[in-house]
C-alpha cells in the first residue's frame, strides 16, 4: 500500500527522482526550483540516493553536464526555472537532437524584467519548440507521478527524447499537501533499467554531436521529427501501465464537466484545480461551463483535443504568458490553428492572466467566462486581452 | 554519403564507426604542394611539430616526409624550416 | 468539517511557515485534507511574512492566498503597526494574538467585528523552551480556538521536525492551549 503523507510539491519531485534510482543530478539552484535540488543534494550527501550530484556554475553548464552523463547511459535529472531555463536554451536543442533522455522539472517562473521570482508560463513557452516531450502537473501527486513516468517514457528505446515536467513555481512547488508516496517495489516494477542503445564507452567508441552540413542536416531533422511524432504511442502506454501499477489515470487532454459544456475554459498546470471550483459555482448558477486541461503539451495531442472541444460554442483560453504583438497567448494561438480547418469548432478567445505570480481566484475564472462569451458574441478589435490589470 | 536518406540516420545522428574521419581526403584541397631537399634536412622535426594537419611522416631512419593524402598545402612547414629545405610549388609544376 | 482557512502573520525566521506545515502534516496523518504554504517570494529574515493553512474533510482545490480567513494568528504584536492583520477576517472569525495585554485592551483596539483571543506566548516560550520563539506555542493557542486536529496529533510531526527539543515545544504548545483567554469563553 502506498503511504499517504503530507509533502511539499518540490519534495514530491525529489522523492520521485530518488525512487527512480537516478544516477546523476546536475543542477544550479534558482527560485522557485531551489527546494527540489536542495533536497536531492541532501539525499546524495546523506547516502539516501546513490548518485553523483554535480554542482555546476550555471544552468547552461547544468544542461551541458546532463548531456555528458546521459550520453554514457546514466539516468540523469535536473531542474530549473525562469531565467535558468532560458540560459539553458541552446543546450535544450542539443539534448533533444542528440536523443538524450534527460528528465527535467521546471518550476515555472516569470521572466525579467522587472525581476520576478514568481510563477507564470513565460519560461516554458519560450522553449516550447526545443524538441522535448513536455507535460504539465496540476498538484504534488501529479508532479510526483509524472517525474517517474518521464524517466520511463524518455528512456524507452522507441522514444529516446528528453522530458520536461512543468510544475507551477510556488503555487505547486511550495505548497504542502497530501500525497500518496510510491512504493519502491512498484517503482521497480514500472521503471526498467536505463539501457541507452549507443552509449559513449571506450570499448565501443562512437561520435556524438557531429557536424551536419547542408547535405545531411535536413535528413537529420526529418529523422528527429518522425521519431518525435512516434513518441505518442509510448507516452500513452506509459500512462496505461502507470494506471495498472499505481491506479492513477493520466491522459493527454483531461476535462472537468466538459461533456455537455457550451463554454469551455482551457488551463494548464496548477490553476486547473482553482478553475474547477469556478466551474462548480457556475454550474450551480445553471451555466453550462466546463474545463479542459492540456496535460501533454508536446507532442501536442491534436486528435484528442479536437474531439474534446468540438461541441462547445466558445473556448476561453487562459495563457500565463504574453506573445508580444503576436496572434494571442501561445496556447490560444496554437489551439486556434489546431481548430482552423475543422467543420465543428468553438470560437477561441485568448485571455492573458496570472502573470508573475498574480493570484487567479475562482471569481477571476468566472469573470473570464463572462468576458469570453461577450468577446465571442460581439467580437473584439484585438487578438487577445490581458485580464486583471488595474486601470 | 550524399545519398543517405533520413531513414539511414542513426539515433541522434551518432556515427558508429570510430575514426571515420581518417577516410576523408583533404589532400585534394591543395593548390601548392611541398617538395624537399633531403640533402639539406637536418631531421630537426620542426616541420612535424608545426604541421596543423599531422601530415608529416617519419621513416625508419628518422627522415621526415609528406603524407599528400592529407596535406592541404598550407606551407607552414616551408615557412618554419630552419634550413629552408622545403619549397612550395604549384601542383602542376611537377 | 468544511474547509477552515487560517492565516498566520509573523516575521521571516519566526517559524510561521513551519507551524502551518506541521499542522497540515498532522491533519493529513489523520486522513484529513490539508494544505499549507508561505507567502510566496524571497525569504528575508525579519520581514513581515504570512503563512497559510487550509484544513478540511474534502479535497482542497483552491491554491490562492487566503484573503477571507476564519482565523488569524499573530506571532508578535508589533506587526499591528505595519500590517493590516485583520484584513478580510470573517465576521464570526477569530483573531489569536501573542500579547502581554489583557483581553479587554486588545478587544478595544483590534476587536471590531470579530472575536479575539490572547495568550502571552512570549512568556510561555521563554519559560518552556528558553527561547523567544513563539511559533510552536501559538499552535496550541490556534488548536484551542479551531480544533483542526487533536493536540496529541501534533506530537508526531513535532518530534520528527525538532528531535531532541521537541519535548520543550510540546510543553509550550500545551501551556498555550491551557492559558489562552478566548473572548466569550
| Domain match, A241 and A288 both | no
Q: Per-residue pLDDT for B2 more than 80?
A: no
| Domain match, A165 and A50 both | yes
Where chain A has pLDDT below 70, the residues are: 1
| Domain match, A212 and A72 both | yes
Q: Which chains have at least 3 CB atom pairs separated by less than 8 Å from chain A? A: B, C
CB-count exposure of residue A68 (10 Å: 0-12, 13-18, 19+): middle
Q: Is residue A108 part of a domain?
A: yes
Q: Is residue A391 part of a domain?
A: no
Q: Whole-angstrom Cα distance, residue A241 to residue A371? A: 41
| Domain match, A333 and A221 both | no
Strands laid side by side in the A133-136 sheet = A52-55, A24-27, A76-80, A103-108, A163-168, A133-136, A296-298
3-state secondary structure (DSSP) of residue A320: coil
Domain count for chain A: 2
Cα A247 versus chain centre, distance: 21
Q: Per-residue pLDDT for C112 more than 90?
A: no
Report yes or no: C95 and C110 within 8 Å, Cβ to Cβ. yes
- Of A196, A217, A246, which one is at a domain's C-terminal end? A246
Q: Is residue A105 part of a domain?
A: yes
| Domain match, A55 and A159 both | yes
Q: How many residues does chain B have?
A: 94
Q: Whole-angstrom Cα distance, residue A219 to residue B4? A: 8
Grid cell, residue A373, equals 462569451
| A182, A186, A189, A191: CA torsion to nearest 10 | 0
Q: Is residue B33 part of a domain?
A: yes
Q: What is the DSSP letter of B62?
A: S
pLDDT category at C1 given cuts 50, 70, 90 is: low
| Domain match, A150 and A74 both | yes
Grid cell, residue B11, equals 539515433
Q: Is residue A43 part of a domain?
A: yes
Distance from CA of A162 to the nearest CA of B (A): 12
pLDDT category at B1 given cuts 50, 70, 90 is: low
3-state secondary structure (DSSP) of residue B58: strand
Domain that holds residue B80: 25-93
pLDDT in tens, B38-81: 999 999 999 999 999 999 999 999 999 999 999 999 999 999 99
- Of A246, A263, A286, which one is at a domain's C-terminal end? A246
**CATH, residue A312:** 3.40.50.920
Contact status of A159 with chain B (Cβ, < 8 Å): no
Q: Can you tell me which residue has the cell 494568528?
A: C73
Indicate if the alpha-carbon torsion angle A252, A257, A263, A268 is positive or negative.
negative
> Given this model, what pLDDT does residue B94 score?
63
| Domain match, A330 and A201 both | no
| Domain match, A182 and A305 both | no
Per residue, the 3-state secondary structure of chain C, as one string, reads CCCEEEEEEEECCCCHHHHHHHHHHHHHHCCCEEEEEECCCCCCCCCEEEEEEEEECCCCCCCCCCCCCCEEEECCHHHHHCCCCCCCCCCCCEEEEECCCCHHHHHHHHCCCCEEEEECHHHHHHHHCCCCCCHHHHHHHHHHHCCCCCHHHHHHHHHHHHHHHHHHHHHHHHHHHHHCEECCC
Q: Whole-angstrom Cα distance, residue B91 to residue A161? A: 50
pLDDT in tens, C38-90: 988 877 888 899 999 999 999 999 998 999 999 999 998 888 888 999 999 99
Grid cell, residue A260, equals 455537455
Rounded (5°) CA angle C147-C149-C152? 115
Distance from CA of A6 to the nearest CA of C (A): 5
Report yes or no: A100 and A70 within 8 Å, Cβ to Cβ. yes
Among B12, B14, B19, the residue to mutate for chain A (most A Cβ within 10 A): B12
**DSSP characters for A142-184?**
HHHHHHHHHHHHHHSTTT---EEEEEETTTTTT-EEEEEEPPH
- Residues from chain A that touch B24, judged by Cβ atoms under 8 A, are none
Q: Is residue A335 part of a domain?
A: yes
**CATH, residue B33:** 3.30.70.20
Please judge whether A219 and B4 are an interchain contact, meaning their C-beta atoms are less than 8 angstroms apart: yes
- Of A203, A224, A246, which one is at a domain's C-terminal end? A246
B74 phi and psi angles, rounded to 5 deg: -70, -30
> Given this model, what pLDDT does residue A92 score?
98
Contact status of C104 with chain A (Cβ, < 8 Å): no
Q: Is residue B7 part of a domain?
A: no
Q: Is residue A240 part of a domain?
A: yes
**CATH, residue A197:** 3.40.50.970
Distance from CA of A98 to the nearest CA of B (A): 4
Cα A104 to Cα A28, A98, A208, C74: the distances in Å are 12, 16, 21, 39
| Domain match, A229 and A270 both | no
> Given this model, what pLDDT does residue B93 score?
78
Among A81, A177, A363, A388, the residue to mutate for chain C (most C Cβ within 10 A): A177
3-state secondary structure (DSSP) of residue A267: strand
Nearest to C108 by CA among C100, C96, C116: C116
Domain that holds residue A74: 3-246
Strands laid side by side in the A263-267 sheet = A253-256, A289-294, A263-267, A314-319, A347-352, A385-386
Cα C121 to Cα C76, C145, C173: the distances in Å are 9, 15, 9
Q: Whole-angstrom Cα distance, residue A289 to residue A312? A: 9
Q: Is residue A93 part of a domain?
A: yes
Domain count for chain B: 1
Among A71, A208, A214, the residue to mutate for chain B (most B Cβ within 10 A): A208
ipTM: 0.93
pLDDT in tens, A342-371: 999 999 999 999 999 999 999 999 999 999
Q: Which domains does chain C have, with CATH numbers?
A: 4-182 (3.40.920.10)
| Domain match, A127 and A103 both | yes
pLDDT category at B20 given cuts 50, 70, 90 is: confident
Please judge whether B10 and A216 are an interchain contact, meaning their C-beta atoms are less than 8 angstroms apart: no
Contact status of A245 with chain B (Cβ, < 8 Å): no
Cα A142 to Cα A67, A96, C135: the distances in Å are 26, 24, 31
**pTM greater than 0.80:** yes
Please judge whether B6 and A222 are an interchain contact, meaning their C-beta atoms are less than 8 angstroms apart: yes
Q: Number of Cβ pairs closer than 8 Å across A and C?
A: 68
Those residues with Cβ within 8 angstroms of residue C112's Cβ, 6 or more apart along the chain or in another chain: C86
Amino acid at each position: 500500500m502506498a503511504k499517504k503523507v503530507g509533502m511539499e510539491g518540490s519534495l514530491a519531485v525529489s522523492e520521485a527522482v530518488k525512487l527512480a534510482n537516478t544516477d546523476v543530478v546536475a543542477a544550479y539552484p534558482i527560485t522557485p526550483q531551489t527546494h527540489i535540488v536542495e533536497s536531492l543534494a541532501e539525499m546524495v550527501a546523506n547516502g539516501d540516493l546513490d548518485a553523483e550530484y554535480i554542482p555546476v556554475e550555471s544552468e547552461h553548464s547544468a544542461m551541458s553536464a546532463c548531456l555528458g552523463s546521459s550520453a554514457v547511459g546514466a539516468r540523469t535529472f535536473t531542474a530549473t526555472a525562469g531565467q535558468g531555463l532560458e540560459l539553458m536554451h541552446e543546450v535544450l536543442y542539443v539534448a533533444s537532437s542528440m536523443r538524450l533522455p534527460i528528465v527535467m522539472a521546471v518550476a515555472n517562473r516569470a521572466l525579467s524584467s522587472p525581476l520576478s521570482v514568481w510563477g507564470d508560463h513565460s519560461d516554458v513557452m519560450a522553449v516550447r519548440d526545443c524538441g522535448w516531450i513536455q507535460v504539465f502537473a496540476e498538484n504534488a501527486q501529479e508532479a510526483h507521478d509524472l517525474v517517474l513516468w518521464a524517466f520511463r517514457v524518455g528512456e524507452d528505446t522507441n522514444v529516446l527524447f528528453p522530458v520536461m515536467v512543468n510544475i507551477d513555481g510556488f503555487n505547486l512547488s511550495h505548497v504542502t499537501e497530501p500525497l500518496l508516496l510510491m512504493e519502491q517495489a512498484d517503482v521497480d516494477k514500472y521503471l526498467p533499467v536505463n539501457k541507452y542503445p549507443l552509449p559513449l564507452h571506450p570499448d565501443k567508441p562512437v561520435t556524438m554531436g557531429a557536424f551536419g552540413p547542408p547535405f545531411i542536416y535536413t535528413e537529420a531533422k526529418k529523422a528527429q521529427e518522425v521519431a518525435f511524432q512516434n513518441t505518442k504511442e509510448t507516452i500513452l502506454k506509459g500512462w496505461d501501465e502507470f494506471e495498472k501499477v499505481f491506479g492513477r489515470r493520466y491522459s493527454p487532454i483531461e476535462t472537468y464537466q466538459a461533456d455537455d459544456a457550451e463554454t469551455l475554459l482551457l488551463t494548464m498546470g496548477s490553476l486547473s484545480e482553482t478553475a474547477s471550483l469556478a466551474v462548480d459555482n457556475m454550474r450551480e448558477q445553471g451555466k453550462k461551463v466546463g474545463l479542459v486541461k492540456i496535460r501533454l503539451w508536446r507532442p501536442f495531442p491534436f486528435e484528442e483535443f479536437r474531439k474534446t472541444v468540438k461541441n462547445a460554442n466558445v473556448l476561453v483560453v487562459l495563457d500565463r504568458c504574453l506573445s508580444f504583438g503576436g496572434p494571442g497567448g501561445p496556447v490560444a494561438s496554437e489551439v486556434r490553428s489546431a481548430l482552423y480547418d475543422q467543420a465543428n469548432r468553438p470560437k477561441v478567445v485568448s485571455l492573458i492572466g496570472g502573470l508573475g505570480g498574480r493570484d487567479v481566484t475562482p471569481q477571476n475564472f468566472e469573470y473570464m467566462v463572462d468576458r469570453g462569451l461577450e468577446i465571442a458574441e460581439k467580437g473584439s478589435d484585438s487578438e487577445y486581452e490581458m485580464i486583471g490589470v488595474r486601470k | 554519403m550524399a545519398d543517405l536518406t533520413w531513414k539511414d540516420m542513426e539515433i541522434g545522428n551518432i556515427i558508429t564507426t570510430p575514426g571515420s574521419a581518417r577516410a576523408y581526403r583533404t589532400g585534394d584541397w591543395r593548390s601548392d604542394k611541398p617538395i624537399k631537399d633531403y640533402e639539406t634536412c637536418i631531421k630537426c622535426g620542426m616541420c612535424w611539430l608545426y604541421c596543423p594537419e599531422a601530415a608529416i611522416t617519419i621513416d625508419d631512419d628518422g627522415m621526415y616526409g609528406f603524407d599528400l593524402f592529407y596535406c592541404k598545402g598550407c606551407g607552414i612547414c616551408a615557412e618554419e624550416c630552419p634550413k629552408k629545405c622545403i619549397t612550395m610549388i604549384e601542383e602542376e609544376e611537377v | 468539517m468544511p474547509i477552515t482557512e487560517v492565516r498566520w502573520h509573523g516575521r521571516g525566521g519566526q517559524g510561521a511557515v513551519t507551524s502551518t506545515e506541521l499542522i497540515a502534516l498532522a491533519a493529513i496523518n489523520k486522513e484529513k485534507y490539508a494544505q499549507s504554504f508561505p507567502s510566496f517570494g524571497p525569504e528575508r529574515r525579519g520581514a513581515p511574512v504570512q503563512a497559510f493553512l487550509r484544513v478540511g474533510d474534502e479535497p482542497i482545490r483552491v491554491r490562492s492566498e487566503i484573503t477571507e480567513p476564519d482565523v488569524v494568528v499573530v506571532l508578535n504584536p508589533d506587526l499591528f503597526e505595519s500590517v493590516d492583520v485583520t484584513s478580510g477576517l470573517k465576521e464570526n472569525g477569530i483573531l489569536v494574538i501573542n500579547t502581554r495585554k489583557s483581553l479587554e485592551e486588545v478587544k478595544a483596539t483590534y476587536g471590531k467585528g470579530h472575536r479575539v483571543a490572547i495568550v502571552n506566548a512570549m512568556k510561555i516560550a521563554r519559560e518552556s523552551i528558553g527561547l523567544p520563539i513563539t511559533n510552536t506555542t501559538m499552535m496550541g493557542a490556534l488548536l484551542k480556538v479551531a480544533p483542526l486536529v487533536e493536540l496529541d496529533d501534533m506530537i508526531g510531526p513535532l518530534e520528527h521536525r525538532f528531535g531532541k527539543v521537541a519535548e520543550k515545544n510540546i510543553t509550550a504548545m500545551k501551556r498555550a492551549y491551557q492559558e489562552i483567554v478566548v473572548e466569550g469563553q
